[in-house]
């Protein structure tokens, strides 16, 4: 048998050979126990079989963690859906449209643990003009609300709507939710704005998902439609 130039044998060729000849370990089963590798969980040496078992255990553990995370997310989503349903039912039971803004704000505070909530509505029907929830809104604030096609989340930078909160000086992060007819991401002119505030600077972060907040805005907008028409439909 001709001698083999050791310099020509490298890791890539060895790996390629083993991949092309999987029966190698069937013919040399004792190699599985004789080959010693470093453990992935310490400095001790383990056999190839043990190392493979460790890799499989790690993969199984990773899959279990992913499954548990999916279960937690599912439970959280179910809990949120239940709260939204309960909040929506409460809004449907409000007999006097004049009480809707307060019911919306109070419901968000109680159901979703939001420390402070403010709301303003404009372009309302005659009977509701001059109500507290229509006051203190500049044209700039109305234009800003219309420009938002998704909820704004971030630090309290002193935007005008922050002043609608009960204690704006205590707020570190805010979420601004446009109230408009139809989808929250449409270009339909705004007729109101919801302001959520928290003393936690990370509660409403610019990187957070806003799908849930958009649904809240759409639900509130649908309920507030009762303020925008008179009893006769004019």
Task: Answer yes or no: is pLDDT of 234 > 50.
Answer: no
Question: Rounded distance, CA 155 to CA 142, Å?
Answer: 20
Spell out where the chain has E strands: 36-38, 45-47, 116-121, 152-155, 173-179, 192-198
Using a pLDDT cut of 90, give the percent of the chain over it. 52
Question: Rounded distance, CA 194 to CA 185, Å?
Answer: 15
Give the dihedral sign, CA 76/80/83/85: negative
Whole-number average pLDDT of the chain: 83
User: Token digits for 100?
Assistant: 């809707």
pLDDT category at 232 given cuts 50, 70, 90 is very low
Task: Answer yes or no: is pLDDT of 161 > 80.
Answer: yes
Q: What is the per-residue pLDDT for 102? A: 96
User: Token digits for 17?
Assistant: 């050979």
Q: Which residues pair with 109 in a beta bridge?
A: none
Q: What is the per-residue pLDDT for 233? A: 45
Q: Which of 19-28, 160-169, 225-234 has the lowest mean pLDDT?
A: 225-234
Query: Could you tell me the CATH superfamily of domain 94-227?
Result: GAF domain (3.30.450.40)
pLDDT category at 4 given cuts 50, 70, 90 is very low
Task: Specify which of 17-31, 80-94, 105-119 reaches the highest per-range mean pLDDT.
Answer: 105-119
C-alpha separations of 215 from 88, 113, 151 in Å? 11, 17, 10
pLDDT category at 6 given cuts 50, 70, 90 is low
134: which residues sit within 8 A by CB, 6+ positions away? 120, 121, 122, 124, 128
Name the residue with higher pLDDT: 34 or 192.
192
Look at strands 192-198 and 116-121 and give their pairing. Answer: antiparallel
C-alpha separations of 27 from 30, 32, 201 in Å? 9, 11, 64
Q: DSSP letters along 65-107, please?
A: HHHHHHHHHHHHHHHHHHHHHHHHHHHHT--SGGGHHHHHHHH
Number of separate helices (H) and strands (E) present in the chain: 7, 6
User: Token digits for 158?
Assistant: 């002193």
Q: What is the per-residue pLDDT for 66? A: 73
**So where are the chain's domains?**
10-55, 94-227
Q: What is the mean pLDDT of residues 150-167?
A: 94
Exposure on the CB side of residue 71, measured as CA atoms within 13 A: 6
Task: Answer yes or no: is pLDDT of 16 > 50.
Answer: yes
Task: Answer yes or no: is pLDDT of 25 > 90.
Answer: no
Q: What is the mean pLDDT of residues 147-157?
A: 94
């Amino acid at each position: 048998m001709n001698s083999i130039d050791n310099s020509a044998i490298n890791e890539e060729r060895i790996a390629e050979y083993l991949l092309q000849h999987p029966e190698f370990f069937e013919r040399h089963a004792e190699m599985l126990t004789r080959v010693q590798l470093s453990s992935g969980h310490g400095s001790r040496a383990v056999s190839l079989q043990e190392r493979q078992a460790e890799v499989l255990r790690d993969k199984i553990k990773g899959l279990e963690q992913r499954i548990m995370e999916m279960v937690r997310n599912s439970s959280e989503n179910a809990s949120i859906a239940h709260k939204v349903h309960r909040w929506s039912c409460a809004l449907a039971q409000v007999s006097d449209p004049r009480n809707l803004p307060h019911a919306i704000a109070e419901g968000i505070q109680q159901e979703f643990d939001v420390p402070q909530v403010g709301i303003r509505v404009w372009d309302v029907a005659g009977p509701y003009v001059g109500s507290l929830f229509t006051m203190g809104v500049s044209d700039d604030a109305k234009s800003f609300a219309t420009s938002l096609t998704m909820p704004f989340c971030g630090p309290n930078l002193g935007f005008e709507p922050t002043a609608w909160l009960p204690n704006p000086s205590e707020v570190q992060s805010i979420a601004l939710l446009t109230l408009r007819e139809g989808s929250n991401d449409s270009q339909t002119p705004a007729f109101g704005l919801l302001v959520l505030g928290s003393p936690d600077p990370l509660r409403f972060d610019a990187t957070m998902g806003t799908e849930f907040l958009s649904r809240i805005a759409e639900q509130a907008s649908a309920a507030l439609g009762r303020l925008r028409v008179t009893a006769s439909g004019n």
